[in-house]
Amino acid sequence: MTTQTTTAVRGGVFAVAALVAAGCASGDSILNAGNDGTRPPTPRTTAAPGAVGPGTTLSLTGRAVPTTIDLTGAAPSPAAATMPLAATTIPLGGPSGPSGFAGAAGSARPLPATAPVGYAPCPVSALDERDPAAGPVRITFWHTMTNVLEESLVALTDAYNASQDRVVVELSNQNGYEQVIDTYFQSGHADRPHLVQMPDYMVQQMADANTVVPIGACIQTENYDISALLPRALLQYQTGGVQWSMPFNVSNPVLYYNRVMFEEAGLDPDDPPLTLEELREFSEALVDSGAATFGWAVDTGIDSGGGWFLEQWFARAGLPYSDNGNGRGARSTEVLFNVPEAVDMLGFVQEMVLDGLAVNVGDNPGAQDVLLKLADPEQPAAMGITTSAGLGTVMTVLDGGLIPGLTSDDIGIGPMPGPTDTPSAIVGGASLYIVRDKGDAESAAAWDYIKYLISAESQSEWAATTGYVPVNVDAVELDPLAATYAADPRFRVAYDQVLAGADDFASVGPVLGPMREIRSVTAQMMAHIYDGTAVEDALAAATEQANLLIIDYANRN
Amino acid sequence: MADAPVAADVPGADRAGARLAVAERLTLAPYERVGGLRAAGRYVLLVVIATVVLLPIYTTVVGAFKPRNRVLHNMLVPGYFTLDTFRDAWTQGNLGRYLLNSLIVATVATAGQLITALFSAYAFAYLDFPARRVMFAVFLATLLVPAEATYVVNRRTVDGLGWLNSYQGLIVPTLATAFGTFLMRQVLLSLPRDLRDAARIDGVGHVGFLRHVAVPLVRPTLGALGLFGFLGTWNAYLWPRLITTDDEMNTVQAGLADLRAQGLDSPNLVMAGTVIAALPIVVILLLFQKQLIRGLTAGAVKG
Amino acid sequence: MLAPSAAVLGAFVVYPMVNAVWLGHQRCDSQGANCRSNGWDQYVDVARSNEFRQALFTTIKFAAITVPIGLALGIALAALADKYLRGIGIFRAIFSSTVATSVAVSALMWYFLLHPSVGVLSNIGWLQELFPVIKTPGLLQDSGTALASVAVSSIWAGLGFTFILITAGLQGIPKELHEAAVVDGAGGTVRFLRITLPLLGPTLIFVVVVLTTRAFQVYGEIDLLTQGGPRPYNSTTTLTYLTYGQSSVIRGNDGLQAAVAVLLFAVLLVLSAAQLLVGGRRVHYG
């Protein structure tokens, strides 16, 4: 290279090095980059407009959507537009201007040019009005079901396609929740499918993106009878008074335990622990008797012990996880998990880990490590909490002999232990969203397919094969599910758990925009706690980071 | 490995040639002869290291042949030979489709890379145009840009073009590399200048020259470049992960990640998938050993 | 003639970097649209933020482990296999074999070795007693050993490449030099240090450059083995994983991702410049 180039390169290099290295560490999170002004303010004590206090019961009158929603696609009525932007903003950027964020503290940021003007209507009659000579409507369905779950979905879909000639559903396996989220949000609207399956924590983001037809619109337009559907499952996917999606595969955490070890320790294998104190007692018995090395396996996975379970416990204890009615009345502006009850709960679990009664199996990315710890030949744990969605797979795998010395009969299933002695759980899993502006006939076809999937017959098949909780309560009385529940009551545990529990905001679980990232923060916090950090400090740090995420999300969306 | 001279046109030459090679080798200089205890010591060391190097491959291959209920027993001991797992990996794990996708993407991308490299190398080597120095500097600059840094924007570009989950999205961004251009330019420059002049006198155009004169002469380097382009595209992990999620469009590397995420209840399935994924490259490298070594050393030994 | 290359490079290399610089000072919504400026100080803040600095240190640590060890192993194996012994060809083939593995394949192979419950290493009794961390919590789950374990997987994958290169380099050294040295009474070690290593210079520098670049761009192993590292210290979140990883805190945040990507480019620029200055004229592209 010429000397000039070399000098230029050298100069540039040192300038860059100076930029990166010379600045001392700011001790701040990357999420605050570029934000001027102070760090997040102290939590507000006054409720935001439209906020709903804890303890308010959601009423289900068979109509999932308030009647004030205008379904013609025009601007929503004021009462229905209960998704105000965060009233408290950290001023981003420099002086306010048309293209930047507002500079004055406390003022709401200007709406982006593409603000949603109204909820998309549901053209339920488009399918009937369609000319049959035009052939069947073809719709694509992006789903994330794999293995046994995929087989069952394929069977259901093939049956649907064969049973009528108006709609043909084409399945496209996106291989996982992460992937479907990424691809859906990155795609241009023309590349999106007609129907998409999104995990439970995506409600707020899907609502904000306003790329879907709210299921509530379909329900209301057609006057569809939802009395047979699980209320809590429907509630999970409601926010701002709008029913956004239809629950399809419902799961919640259950306790998997080794019956043989229970017997060895002198415990009744039909009476699993229900409260945290019982969990400790049982663990002590198991470890002291030598039946197991550890009583209980915990993990720090995002969708399990690090994130999801925390929401479960808060809901069970009736504590709100975030403000504004757990994000269901209006958008949450902060998380509320830094409370004394949480300190007690998490401190209790921390003690179990530090005392050697519980073992931390790590980040558990595939949701299998807890179960594998149960099957560990050298240092097993006797109990573990994992999603009920794995039940079918676990039984099949054990019966296939994957783990030497362990058969499926040795596994007991109990309700998730928690801070109270009444079992209850919030709805997890995924739900189905109809994508808007993809054609009236297509949206109607997607709605028709959804109705098929949540019918009692389909849900009976689905739940019996996969272990998911049936969304339709009538399915419990139909075979094959009735037979499965009768033959193996273990498959019922998740279902019974979902039925219990109150219907107020706190018990239904939170809705937050950056839910996934907040779960990552709480998982981090749990890892610190299991590592021995003081619970109060960990909670405080997590709260701060989570609030940063919420503010960042609110300012961007 | 040293190539021993073999007279190929003599019948039975191979064996004679091999004998010749052995004879040649046996005449080692005194300091090269390793005898007795030192040889034994070396062998021990070699065996130990080879065992460690082979361990991951060995366990994966052994596990791939075991049925599901045996894979976690005695993982180091082969036994219970079954091919069912491979069949399951192919069908259930969709590996057939993944391999096809990888093959299409890698082949087209490689062909494209060779063509673009040749064209631009020709331009830099033989043509004179106003912006030549600037363009050369720009090409040089792109060598410094790590691919990972471009993916954030490339993903948005590809999405804007509607190329998510498509072959175009996987292929087009990889169609040109500055390294290829420079390598081919070096090789073209080493050709005698009169070749090009003679061709021009004969009325042969740019492409014609490349096709009929240059390519036959630079075939070895082209082969090495092609091999590396193929390997690079075949082995790419991050870019396919970023833009494909549809199970039908996964390449083999991205597909393996999905297989692992879903398949820990059947570790032998994932192992079989890994073996299937690795096989094509093993075969190709065995066939194209010379090109591999030439390509590797092309960048290194040239001073 | 130049058009095809120029077009592709321009659209997918030059344009992304320029656009990334512009994007890096903005924040976008979940769909990557509605990008608004957040001030150029966003770059400075990102560079100074905890997550970025931690990722940078992790990346440097990773390179500091993989490059020297990979190089040393390559040299050692090449020297070991350079003598004529019966069957040396088999050993050479074995040592070269890892060049046939891709990142995903090699990472998965090591996953089956390292997993604390179903991994091979965790089921060997005497090994477990010697190093209990293999089982509890597992080499990939323990904050102290996770990065080293990923590094081992990466070193193993690069071994074949390094071995082939250095072997070729060794065979490029004229025999006469060694013979002359032997005549002068030089022993094996002296010959190695005085003749072999210096003449291997260009090859070794090339190997170092390639290994370092690979180390700074590592992604696949981390995605498959640890997903950014055992919590709570995220010991395997490197710069690339911070940008694209599924567990990253800036996932879905296009503006911040672009900022980190640009800074990654800057870091690699510094690195390349350092290598160029050190390597001098020995490696150039014409």
Model confidence over C225-280: pLDDT tens digits? 998 888 888 899 999 999 998 888 888 888 999 999 999 999 888 888 888 777 65
- Beta strands at A381-387 and A294-298: parallel, antiparallel or unpaired: parallel
Which of A113, A31, A92 is closest to A514 using CA atoms?
A31
Q: Nearest CA to A312 among A469, A468, A424, A470?
A: A424
- Interface residue C36 vs chain B (CB under 8 A): no
Average pLDDT, stretch B169-189?
89
Q: A366–B165: do the CB atoms touch at under 8 Å?
A: no
Whole-angstrom distance, CA of residue A325 vs CA of residue A331: 9
Predicted structure pTM score: 0.84
Contact C232 A186 (CB under 8 A): no
C-alpha span between B205 and B182 (Å, rounded)? 22
What is the pLDDT at residue C218? 93
Nearest-CA residue of chain B relative to A365?
Answer: B261
Say yes or no for a CB contact (<8 Å) between A402 and B69.
Answer: yes
Tell me if C263 sits within 8 A of C52, measured CB to CB. Answer: yes
Chain B contacts of C89, Cβ < 8 Å?
Answer: 1
Q: What's the pLDDT tens digit per position in A328-376?
A: 888 889 999 899 999 999 999 999 999 999 999 888 877 788 888 888 7
Residue whose token pair is 């679980």: A509
Alpha helices in A120-224 (DSSP H): 126-129, 147-163, 177-186, 203-209, 215-222
**Domain boundaries defined on chain C:** 41-279
Smallest CA-to-CA distance from A551 within A204, A115, A32, A177 is with A32
Q: Which of residues 96-135 of B touch C (CB under 8 A)?
A: 115-117, 119-120, 122-124, 127, 129, 135
SS3 A138: strand
Do residues B27 and B100 share a domain?
no
CA C173 to CA A271: how far, in whole Å? 76
What pLDDT score was predicted for residue B32? 63
Q: Tell me the residue type at C282.
A: R
- Binding partners of C (≥3 Cβ pairs within 8 A): A, B
- Could you give the residue ranges of the DSSP H alpha helices within B92-177? 95-126, 132-143, 147-160, 167-171
Q: Check CB contact under 8 Å for B248 and A172.
A: yes
Q: Is B101 among the domain residues?
A: yes
Across the interface, whether the CB atoms of C36 and A99 are under 8 A apart is answered yes
Please report whether residue B89 resides in a domain: no
At residue A125, what is the residue type?
S
Q: Residue for token digits 């009233």?
A: A87
Contact A307, A524 (CB under 8 A): no
Q: Is A198 exposed, middle or buried (0-12, 13-18, 19+ CB in 10 A)?
A: buried
Contact state of A188 with B162 under an 8 Å Cβ cutoff: yes
Mean pLDDT of chain A: 80
The answer, yes or no, to whether the previous bond of A116 is cis (omega within 30 of 0) is no
Rounded to whole angstroms, how far apart are CA atoms A526 and A529? Answer: 5
Spatial contact of A551 and A40, defined as CB atoms under 8 Å apart: yes
pLDDT of amino acid A460: 95
Give the residue-averaged pLDDT of B132-160.
89
DSSP 3-state percent helix, strand, coil across chain B (nearest 5)? 75, 0, 25
Q: Which of A518, C259, A92 is nearest to C242 (CA)?
A: C259
Interval A122-142: pLDDT, tens = 888 888 888 888 889 999 999
> Nearest 5°: CA angle at B19, between B17 and B25?
105
Is residue C75 scored above 60 in pLDDT? Answer: yes
| CA–CA dist A152, A146 (Å, integer) | 9
Chain C residues 93-152 with a CB less than 8 Å from chain B: 94-95, 97-106, 108-113, 118, 120, 123-124
C80 touching A, CB under 8 A? Answer: no
Contacts of A552 in chain C (CB under 8 A): 27, 253
Q: Is residue B153 part of a domain?
A: yes
Contact call for residues A36 and C49 (beta carbons, < 8 A): no
Q: Give the whole-angstrom CA distance, residue A450 versus residue A157.
A: 11
> How much is the pLDDT for A18?
61
Q: What integer is the mean pLDDT of C164-168?
A: 89
Q: Which residue has the higher pLDDT, C4 or A402?
A: C4
CA–CA separation, B181 vs B176, rounded Å? 8
What pLDDT score was predicted for residue B21? 43
The type of residue at C31 is Q
Q: Which of C16, C112, C169 sits opposite B59 (nearest CB)?
A: C112
Q: How far is B98 from chain A (nearest CA, A)?
A: 13
Q: Is A320 in a helix, a strand, or coil? A: coil
pLDDT at position B74:
64
The pLDDT of residue A20:
56
Q: What share of chain A is helix, strand, coil (3-state, %, to 5)?
A: 45, 15, 40
Is residue B251 within 8 A of residue B101, CB to CB? The reply is: yes
d(CA C256, CA C12): 20
CB nearest to C202's CB, from B252, B278, B301: B301
Same domain, B118 and B251: yes
Cα–Cα distance measured from residue A118 to residue A113, given in angstroms and rounded to the nearest whole number: 14
- The fold adopted by the segment(s) C41-279 is MetI-like fold (1.10.3720)
Q: In the predicted model, what is the mean pLDDT of residues B119-145? A: 86
Q: Burial level of C32, CB count in 10 A (0-12/13-18/19+)?
A: buried
pLDDT of residue B34: 62
Q: Which residue has the higher pLDDT, C67 or A59?
A: C67
Among residues B225, B227, B228, the alpha carbon closest in space to that of B117 is found at: B225
Q: Is B35 exposed, middle or buried (0-12, 13-18, 19+ CB in 10 A)?
A: exposed
Number of residues that make up chain A = 557
Q: Residue B238 sits in which domain range?
A: 95-300
- Mutation pick from C117, C123, C265 vs chain A, by most beta carbons of A within 10 Å, is C117
Q: Decide: A294 and A357 in contact? Cβ < 8 Å.
A: yes
Residues of B whose CB is below 8 A from C159? 53
Residues of chain B with C-beta less than 8 angstroms from the C-beta of C95? 49-50, 53
The pair of three-digit structure tokens given for residue A506, joined into one six-digit string: 């706190």
Q: Is B71 on the interface with A (CB under 8 A)?
A: yes
Per-residue pLDDT reduced to its tens digit, B203-261? 877 778 878 888 888 888 888 889 889 999 999 999 999 988 888 899 999 988 888 87
Q: B145 at the A interface (CB within 8 A)? A: no
CA distance B182 to chain A (A): 14
Q: How many domains does chain B have?
A: 2
Q: What is the pLDDT of residues A519-536, one digit of tens each?
A: 989 999 999 999 899 999
* A157-174 exposure pattern, b = at least 16 Cβ within 10 A, e = fewer: beebeeeeeebbbebbbb
Nearest-by-Cβ selection for A402 from B72, B155, B260: B72
Structure confidence at residue C215 (pLDDT): 93
pLDDT band at A1; cut points 50, 70, 90? very low
Q: A472 pairs with which residues across the strands?
A: A229
Rounded CA-CA distance A455/A167 in Å is 17
Could you give the 3-state DSSP secondary structure of residue C268?
A: helix
Contacts of A454 (CB under 8 A, 6+ apart): A229, A246, A247, A248, A471, A472
pLDDT, average across residues C112-118: 82
Partners of residue C140 in chain A, C-beta under 8 Å = 362
CA angle, residues A430, A433, A434, in degrees to nearest 5: 160
Among B146, B182, B242, the residue with its CB nearest the CB of C264 is B146
Structure tokens at A509: 């679980």
Residues A159 and A153: their CA atoms lie apart, in Å, by 10
Do B119 and B214 have their domain in common? yes
Does B142 fall in a domain?
Answer: yes
Give the Cα separation of B114 and B174 in Å (integer). 11
- Put simply, whether B265 touches C (Cβ < 8 Å) is no
Q: Does B230 touch chain C (CB under 8 A)?
A: no
Any chain B CB within 8 A of the CB of A455? Answer: no
Q: Which whole number is the average pLDDT over B55-63?
A: 89
Report the C-alpha gap between A313 and A500 in whole angstroms. Answer: 14
* Share above pLDDT 90 across residues of chain B, in percent, rounded to a whole number: 20
pLDDT value, residue C137: 79
Model confidence pLDDT, tens digit, residues A188-200: 888 899 999 999 9
Contact B104, B258 (CB under 8 A): no
Q: How far is CA A58 from CA A306, B260, C46, in A?
A: 28, 42, 43
Mean pLDDT, rounded, for B134-142? 87
Question: A285 or A109, which is more confident?
Answer: A285
For residue B248, the chain A residues in CB contact (below 8 A) are: 172-173
Taking only Cα atoms into account, the Rg of chain B, rounded to an integer number of angstroms, comes to 25
Can you tell me whether residue A198 is helix, strand or coil? strand
Q: Which two tokens stand for residue B139?
A: 């090409």
Picking from A256, A368, A358, A247, the residue whose alpha carbon sits closest to that of residue A304 is A368
Q: Which residues of A touch B71 (CB under 8 A)?
A: 402
Whether residue B100 is contained in a domain is answered as: yes
Question: Averaging pLDDT over each range in B20-29, B172-181, C177-186, which range is the top one?
Answer: B172-181
Q: Return the HEC string of C1-19.
A: CCHHHHHHHHHHHHHHHHH
Q: How far is CA A164 from CA A170, B179, B277, in A?
A: 14, 57, 41
Average pLDDT over residues A96-121: 38
Question: 225-284 in C: which are within 8 Å (CB) of A?
Answer: 226-227, 230-232, 234, 246-247, 249-253, 256, 259-260, 263, 266-267, 269-270, 273-274, 276-277, 284
Residue predicted with more confidence, C179 or C152: C152
Instruction: Compute the mean pLDDT over every residue in chain B, rounded to the nearest whole number.
Output: 80
What region, left, alpha or beta, does residue A42 occupy, with left being phi > 0 and alpha being psi -120 to 50 degrees? beta
Give the pLDDT of residue A479.
87
Number of continuous H segments (helices) and E segments (strands) in chain A: 21, 13
Confidence at residue B29, expressed as pLDDT on a 0 to 100 scale? 62
Asked if C136 reaches chain A (Cβ–Cβ under 8 Å), the answer is yes
Residue pair B4/B17 in contact (Cβ under 8 Å)? The answer is yes
Start-to-end CA span in chain A (Å): 48
Q: What are phi and psi of A103, to 5 degrees?
A: -90, -25
Nearest to A520 among C49, C135, C247 (CB): C247
On whether the CB atoms of residues B118 and B183 are closer than 8 A, the answer is no
pLDDT value at residue A41: 33
Q: Which residues of A touch C256 (CB under 8 A)?
A: 30-31, 33
Domains observed in chain A? 126-251+427-478 (3.40.190.10), 253-424+525-556 (3.40.190.10)
- Domain with B159 in it: what CATH number? 1.10.3720.10
CB contact under 8 A, C232 and A25: no
Q: Does residue B144 sit in the same domain as residue B288?
A: yes
At residue A7, the pLDDT reads 62
Which bin fits A528, alpha (ψ -120 to 50), beta or left (φ > 0)?
alpha
pLDDT at A159: 96
**Å from C62 to nearest chain B CA?**
17
Are B159 and B251 in the same domain?
yes
